[in-house]
Amino acid sequence: MTPGGLKVGFIGLGIMGAPMALNLRKAGHTLFVASRSKVPPAFAEAGATICTNATEVARRADIVITMVPDTPHVEDVLFGENGVAKGLKPGQLVIDMSSISPMATKAFAQKINALGCDYLDAPVSGGEVGAKAASLTIMVGGPEAAFERARPLLAAMGKNITLVGGNGDGQTTKVANQIIVALNIEAVAEALLFASKAGADPAKVRQALMGGFAASRILEVHGERMIQRAFNPGFRIELHQKDLNLALQGAKELGVSLPHTASAAQLMQSCAAHGFAGLDHAALCRSLELMARHEIAPAPG
């Protein structure tokens, strides 16, 4: 461990969590890990300590990070039978980097605070590529002092790191991010489907659009996925469905109408109904293609 390294616990070693945790180890921090599934061999090779459960992680680390799929998973990891809360001592810091309910996050923070510990919600954007490259965008909610304490760890995992407000505000920002991403994927899918159905080459159409005002990261990355039929998951449809459901649930509570978010959620539901829930969210185009009886591009080869 390099001088100044921290004792960090990391729970949840999936597509996103595993590279994020390994980047913490590369930055010189002592790492204690646990996961519902088998811990990848890379962690033992990197010198991480593999723990039996979340309670043990909390007992051995000073700062505990969670990165799991959904709100119930976070609640179980934090407060379940072998949860983080049972291993915490006053003065520790818990950072949840999952994408979950803002309202539940505020309740979780209050329960952790009652144990004499600080809590940050710090969801991320950037997908598997960003997780591996340590270039994630990280949206943080919580006390400023806790944010400053966590900053060296966040900087080892991401580039654009912003304290947006109090507990829950990080999750609210992530929901807003997911609305924008979903609607951009839908727009790119509709545009490329329209061009392809009209007889144009979708690859050349995309290339032309990348030089104009319609250019976007979604058109660049997910437009290419649609054309190449490369739907192996970086971020699964079922997880984006969860995020859009959080948006629509929050909108209902706030009395706000989000009609196009609802439309994107329905297209993802159609994908799930056709067995595509485990594909990358770029595969949202499949629901539009099924309605049109036309694919944007044939599979390579």
CA 127 to mean position of chain CA atoms: 7
The DSSP output letter for 114 is T
Three-state secondary structure call for residue 102: helix
Among candidate residues 199, 156, 190, the one with its CA nearest the CA of residue 264: 190
The DSSP output letter for 48 is P
Q: Which two tokens stand for residue 297?
A: 């591009």
The DSSP output letter for 215 is -
Beta bridge partners of residue 121, listed in sequence order: 96, 141
* Whole-number Å distance between alpha carbons of 19 and 2: 19
CB 182 within 8 A of CB 215: no
CB 159 within 8 A of CB 137: yes
* Whole-number Å distance between alpha carbons of 262 and 147: 34
Annotated catalytic residue: which of 26, 86, 174, 197? 174
The DSSP output letter for 298 is P
* Whole-number Å distance between alpha carbons of 57 and 34: 7
CB 44 within 8 A of CB 51: no
Residue 174 known to be catalytic: yes
Q: Which two tokens stand for residue 44?
A: 């033992």
Question: Dihedral sign, CA of 285, 289, 295, 296?
Answer: negative
Q: How many CB atoms lie within 10 A of CB 10?
A: 31
* Whole-number Å distance between alpha carbons of 102 and 134: 25
Q: Which two tokens stand for residue 77?
A: 């990891």
Q: Which residues are catalytic?
A: 174
